[in-house]
Structure 1
Amino acid sequence: MNGDSVECWLTDMDGVLVREHEALPGAAELLEQWRRKDLPYLVLTNNSIFTARDLSARLRHSGLVVPENRIWTSALATSTFLANQISPESNAQGSCYVVGEAGLTTALHEAGFIMTETNPDYVVVGETRNYSFEAITKAVRLINDGARFIVTNPDATGPSSEGVLPATGAIASLITKATGRDPYVVGKPNPMMFRSALNHLGAHSMQTAMIGDRMDTDIVAGMEAGMHTILVLSGLSSRADIADFPFRPNRIIDGVFELLDEPLIGDADVDVRGSA
């Protein structure tokens, strides 16, 4: 498959379209190219803190126009997955105890779930900057009492201006250690997230390309979902890193500016490898 035969696009956000809230070379132009050609696409992120509306506004501040219906988060993927787990014959609303932020609670509410601390069907753990001992203790006890354990994404750390922060995967490991229960993890690298995105678009994997900057999440999940995979070197991966993995992307590019029909002026001078 080459760029001309791709009918649908999925792309990671950080390291592909933006870096530290600054749009990367070619990102705005690529989004406009997809809009002009009326190509379906989604911007994916494992971050479950923000709603799609919040992320659309944040991207707009970076100079990128991405409508909220073109954003797919691990929170949306999780709510879609759980909604499909509820038997339609039961006529019952599912219930959740959530450790997370508005992006996750909003997605679950919109999928019809009730938030409760009393005998929930699920304990759902997502990203938050306000993990509390009380909330984690409540999650442990509810899981021990029979609630099913769901995690939005496996990322153990997240970035901040001061350095790395413990993230969803780290908190999930704490709960697993306390309960002896492993969670079901919806976000990347589980291809479930990509399949839910494809279903949301009504697209087929054989005509879809995935653009990402991480071999261990974006590329492996895209490959397992049956998509054409494109690794960009504008984020976390370098060419040297690729040798550490037993699989390969279909294409390797320096940045998304290489996917433009009309090259950016001076794009040959753009250095995107410094953060790799």
Structure 2
Amino acid sequence: MLRSLAEPEGYRLEALDGDIGHCHDFLFDDELWTLRYMVADTGGWLSGRKVLLSPVQLKAPDWERKRMPVDLTKAQIEQSPPLDVDAPVSRRYEQLYNEVHALPSYWLGSGLWGDFPIPASLTSTQDVRIEPEPTTSGATLDETGLAAGDDIHLRSVREVTGYSVVGASTEDEGAGVEKVGRVVDLIVNDDSWALRAFVVDTSRLPLSKKVLLPVDAVAEIDWVERQVVADVPADRIEEAPPFDPNEPINERLETVLYDVYGRPQPGG
């Protein structure tokens, strides 16, 4: 099912033995367009420390109660490697995380989740350790959390929200890009955790309109200029069918959008 990422923001997180804080953010792979982690704000429990939660560790949300069950105990969560919110998450950090939580590496394989079809199939290979075991010299973090050869592709959903969206200008040949609107939300498949679209607010007073921009129609995210660059004309984005966030997001609507943008419907 397709879901809005703005919806679960702020949801209370319930570990196996009590509340652990709330949903603060998500990290996504800007190369494969897939959510990799939820960022949990532990509030007063761990003095406001932020921790990552893999989708493997999350159960189906209780949408009515605005709560999300987590398949870990507080002690298991506390053993996660410290997260520096001001530094990018490195591959070395992910390796440490997987060691502590006994998870396979999603980046080993050809699919969105390596050799596994969906995150729910990434089962633990052993019981999660309560007391961390010594790691090898090759699996320790340096001061920045980075290792030589690290490829950083994990980005914050909160960071990209508010970015400008630009498309190719159609006014004059070679005129460059034209601003269409700004990112206000992202749409995700809650089974595969694959990102499907950006929600773009194209409002121009007195008009107000939101449209969906499929990730397949995104050429790049310019992190320096803080903008999402589409590879389709700006007027095509503006003329897309309006998106009503109060209506269910369904596959039929997605099919229409992919037809509008001339992209084949993805399978995941």
TM-score by shorter chain over 0.5: no
Structure (1/2) with the larger strand percentage: 2
Give me the TM-score of the superposition, normalised by structure 2: 0.28
Give me the TM-score of the superposition, normalised by structure 1: 0.27
Q: Which has the higher contact order (CA 8 A, sep 6+)?
A: 1
